[in-house]
Amino acid sequence: MNLFNILKNGLFSLDPEHAHEIALKGMQLAYRTRTSGLFGAQKFTKPCKLMGLEFSSPVGLAAGFDKNADYVDALAALGFGFIEVGTLTPKPQAGNPKPRLFRLAEQQAIINRMGFNNKGIEHAAKRLEKINYRGVLGINLGKNADTPLENAVDDYLTGFRALWKYASYITINISSPNTRGLRDLQQKVFLSSILRTMKEEQTKILQREKKYVPLVIKLSPDMTDEQTEEGAKIILEEKIDGVIATNTTVSRDGVLESKYVNETGGLSGMPLCGRSTHVIKKLASILKDEIPVFGSGGVMDEETAKDKLNAGARLIQVYTGFIYHGPEIISRIAKVF
């Protein structure tokens, strides 16, 4: 039994947000003392090339785990093929009031309404300046809660301009359910404008800095099939480089028996798996091989990862599965590719 399994019961007895902070500090300590293997960490190399990037393996960490880019090297030591930090906003913000994170252990799920709590892009830039990690690093960008929707693109541009030099790719997060109105940015009138403006900035950076930074968009699982199809067509038209499917859901299917069923926020974990896989399949049927889909949402084991690959995902991101099963899940999933 590895150290993660020994510590899991203790961590799960604590408030989830406090447990998360302790776990991150524990991973940092393990990295500094070169004992990450005690947590079940394994290096699994299966290189793949997508979006012009060389991934050491196709299994990565989703955004939200290391919001401020404080623990990149420690997380990399656990065996991830790529890491995505954030969500980051231009200005620091506290997020929503606590409690805002709920562990639904029986359903292998989590409900969160964190609200993009983060230290802002300046803090992240200072942290990323010092990391040793040289693998694929995604930086997930959002808008500040007090930025009007009509000005949202300015926040994404601010993040892009400040952090492009540290990013292997940039993720445009318009799908979190925990910032009021954010998901409205998935509507055609906003989506086309944001993606076009970000592509223009991408071109400027390429011309000026000679670095192409792929743009990825993260979508909601709660769109209708028609909305997903419309979004996919816009993504094709604007030549976005990748799509993450999906963010968390506001549905409570699969957790109706939980005492937390009435808590607001996004649901992740096993109950999200089927819906996320459905969205992947719908996107892949339109995007074909032109734009890769990252499979995220309810990846809890080899079987759920296979479902997403069969639906058309080219890369896998874990978050809730990592919380419930520890670093061992990384190499286990990587082996199904």
**Residues forming the active site:** 176
Dihedral-angle region of residue 254 (phi above 0 means left; psi in -120 to 50 means alpha; beta otherwise): left
Phi, psi of 158 (to 5 degrees): -60, -45
- CA-to-CA dists, residue 68 to 25, 76, 87, 115, 128, angstroms: 14, 15, 8, 14, 9
Q: Considering only CA atoms, which of 25, 37, 134 is closest in space to residue 79?
A: 37
| Token couple for 257 | 């028996």
- Residues 302 and 296: their CA atoms lie apart, in Å, by 13
Q: Which amino acid type is present at position 145? A: A
Amino acid at 190: F
Q: Are 27 and 39 in contact (CB under 8 A)?
A: yes
Distances in whole angstroms, Cα of residue 250 to Cα of each of 48, 247, 329: 33, 10, 26
Contact by Cβ (8 Å): 301, 307: no
The sign one gets for the Cα dihedral 240, 136, 274, 306 is: positive
Helix (H, G, I), strand (E, B) or coil at 216: strand
Written in H, E and C, the secondary structure of 79-116 is: CCCEEEEEEECCCCECCCCCCCEEEEHHHCEEEECCCC
List, edge to edge, every strand of the sheet that includes 266-269: 101-104, 109-112, 266-269
Map tokens 């079987």 to a residue: 303
HSE-up (13 A, CA, CB side) for residue 47:
5
